Amino acid sequence: MDTSKKYKLPVPRFTKSPFLLVAGWGGRFTQDTAQDIPSLWAKFLADIEHIPNREGDETYGVCCNPDGKGGFEYIAGVRVSTRDDLPEHYRWVELQEQNYAVFEHRGSLDNLGQMFQAIWNDWLPSSDYEAVDAPEFERYSPDYDVQTLTGVLEIWLPVKPRASPARG
C-alpha cells in the first residue's frame, strides 16, 4: 500500500441519534458488487416522491443485515414516520437510538470507498472506540447534489467506548 497517498480523514464528531425508520429501495451487495449501488440510488431517486409518510428532506444510504461472508443489504431511502401504507417493493430498516462517530465528507464520491477504508482500517483500530453491531449509514443533506458536489454527506458509524483504550 502506498502510504504517501493515504486518505486524510476528518476528525469525527460524536453524537447520539434518535430512533429512525428509513424506507426506500434496497438490495444485497458485496465488495465485488458495491459498484452497482449508484444504480440503486438512481432507481430510488426516480421514485422518491412516491414514498408514503416521508419525514424531512435528507436521504440515507444504510448498510445493514450483514451475512458474515462479506455480503450486506444496502437501502437508499428517506426517513418515514411509519411502515403503514408502505408498498411491498420498498425495503425498510429501523435504526435504534445509538451513539455514533460521524465523519463529514464533501466533494466527489469517487473517494468515498477510501474514506470507508480509512475509517475501518486506520481510525477505528487506533481510537478509543469499537464498532457496535448495528447499521452504519450515510446521511445526505437536503441540498446534496451529486452533479455539482455541493451539500454535505456524513458517514455515521455506530460505536461504543473500547473496554481498554487503543494504543497507537
64-119 pLDDT, tens per residue? 999 989 999 999 999 999 999 999 999 999 999 999 999 999 777 778 888 999 99
pLDDT for res 111: 82
Half-sphere exposure of 110 (CA within 13 A, CB side): 4
DSSP secondary structure code for residue 69 in this structure: S
Beta strands (DSSP E) in the chain are: 13-17, 20-29, 54-64, 72-80, 91-95, 98-105, 129-131, 136-140, 153-161
Instruction: Using DSSP, state whether 123 is helix, strand or coil.
Output: helix
pTM of the predicted protein model: 0.89
Q: Of 100, 94, 104, which is closest to residue 151 (Cα–Cα)?
A: 104
The C-alpha cell that represents 160 in the structure block: 461504543
The mean pLDDT value for 136-149 works out to: 86
Question: Which one-letter amino acid corresponds to residue 56?
Answer: G
Statement: residue 6 has pLDDT above 70: yes
Work out the percent of the chain whose per-residue pLDDT is above 90.
75
